[in-house]
Structure 1
Amino acid sequence: MKPLRFIGSSLDDLKNFPEEARKAVGFELFAVQQGLMPSDFKPMLSVGPGTYEIRIHVMGEWRVIYVAKMQDAVYILHAFHKKTQKTSKHDIALAEQRYKQIMKE
Structure 2
Amino acid sequence: MPEDVQDIFGYALHLAQGGGKHPQAKPLKGFSGAGVLEVVEDFDGDTYRAVYTVKFGTAVYALHCFQKKSTKGIETPQHDVELIKTRLQAAAAHANGGKK
TM over 0.5: yes
User: Is 2:9 the counterpart of 1:25?
Assistant: yes
The SS at the match of 1:78 is strand
1:54 and 2:39 matched: yes
Paired residue for 1:80? Answer: 66
Counterpart of 1:102, as a letter, is A
Higher RCO (Cα < 8 Å, 6 or more apart): 1
Paired residues for 1:64-103 under 5 Å:
64-84=50-70, 85-103=74-92
SS of 1:36's partner is coil
Give runs of ≥4 in structure 1 deviating > 6 Å. Answer: none
Which amino acid is the alignment partner of residue 40 of structure 2?
R
CA positional deviation for 1:72: 3.9
- When structure 1 is superposed on structure 2, of 22-31 and 85-94 the one drifting more is 22-31
Flag the 1:47–1:94 CA change in 2: closer, same or farther, 3 A.
farther
Task: Find the residue that maps to 2:43 and give its secondary structure.
Answer: coil
Q: Which amino acid aligns with 2:88?
A: Y
Identity, in percent, stands at: 29
Kept in 1: contact 2:49–2:65 (CA 8 A): yes
Any stretches of 5+ residues in structure 2 without a counterpart? 95-100
Q: Which moved more, 1:76-85 or 1:47-56?
A: 47-56
Q: In angstroms, what is the RMSD of aligned CA positions?
A: 1.6
